[in-house]
Amino acid sequence: MNLIFIGPPGAGKGTQAETIVRACGIAQVSTGDIIRAAIRSQTALGIEFKKYADAGVLVPDDLVNRLVEARLVQPDCAAGFLLDGFPRTIPQADWLQQSLAKSGLRLEHVLVLDVADSAILERITGRRSDPITGHIYHLRFDPPPPHIVDRLVHRPDDTEAVLSKRLREYHDKTAPLVDYYERLGLVRRIDAVGSLHDVSRRILTVLGVPPSVPA
């Protein structure tokens, strides 16, 4: 099963991806995670990425397409993948269509996570990530166990000022992808407001994954 998550910053793409890839036995491909790993490693590309990510603007399409191209040939993607944060622009979506067609692959569903902008600031400012497990917490909505709080990371782009730029990028460049994939008959809209468990259940229902699988 090959899937795409589309949603604004803080919609819950990374959080829900953890559950969905486990339930479906597919790989998570998060361009945000790949970009942050390159930034941490301080590679030449990572230094370049940092300028964009810290400013809340998108990295140029050709650089991101190359990251995805390298990631999709990894063995764990053979059983299927969930693209989390890609594509983010029409040129990225065009590139993906061509790349999948060349490999004889197709997309099954494009899951659009719907959350109003007004709900996002609290999600973003309260987010903390565990650098050891990769798990995403929220100080209020999904509190971490007290003994790991000191090691949790607050992303540098998770500020109110940068968020407004990220939201602008989303509405200008990424939201048009919903119409793009509507025309291909692939869009499944998910109400992404509610408990983490309820949102997972809604997604698994759309995917036809049996309810016995823990969400």
Binding site for ligand AP5 (CB under 6 A): 7, 9-15, 31-32, 35, 52-53, 56-59, 64, 85-86, 88, 92, 123, 126-127, 136-138, 141-142, 157, 166, 192, 194, 196, 199
Query: Which one of the listed residues 128, 166, 173, 202 is annotated catalytic?
Result: 166
Note if 189 is an active site residue.
no
Please state the closest distance from residue 76 (CB atom) to ligand AP5, in A. Answer: 19
Query: Of 104 and 150, which CB lies nearer to ligand AP5 in the complex structure?
Result: 150
13 is catalytic: yes
Q: Are 24 and 1 in contact (CB under 8 A)?
A: yes
Q: Which is nearer to ligand AP5, 85 or 104 (CB)?
A: 85
Query: Can 188 be counted among the known catalytic residues?
Result: no
Q: How far is the CB of 129 from ligand AP5 (least distance, A)?
A: 8
CA distances for 173 relative to 33, 91, 132, 136, 167, angstroms: 20, 10, 32, 25, 10
Q: Which of 36, 127, 128, 202 is catalytic?
A: 127
Annotated active-site residue 155? The verdict is yes
The least distance separating ligand AP5 from the CB of residue 2, rounded to whole angstroms, comes to 16
Find the residue with minimal CB distance to ligand AP5: 32
Q: Which residues of 56-74 are buried (b: 16+ CB within 10 A; e: fewer)?
A: bbbbebeebbebbeebbee
In angstroms, what is the minimal distance from the CB of 165 to ligand AP5?
8
Active site residue 183: no
Residue 164 CA to residue 144 CA, distance in Å, equals: 26
Q: Which of 50, 155, 165, 201 is catalytic?
A: 155
| Residues taking part in catalysis | 13, 88, 127, 155, 166
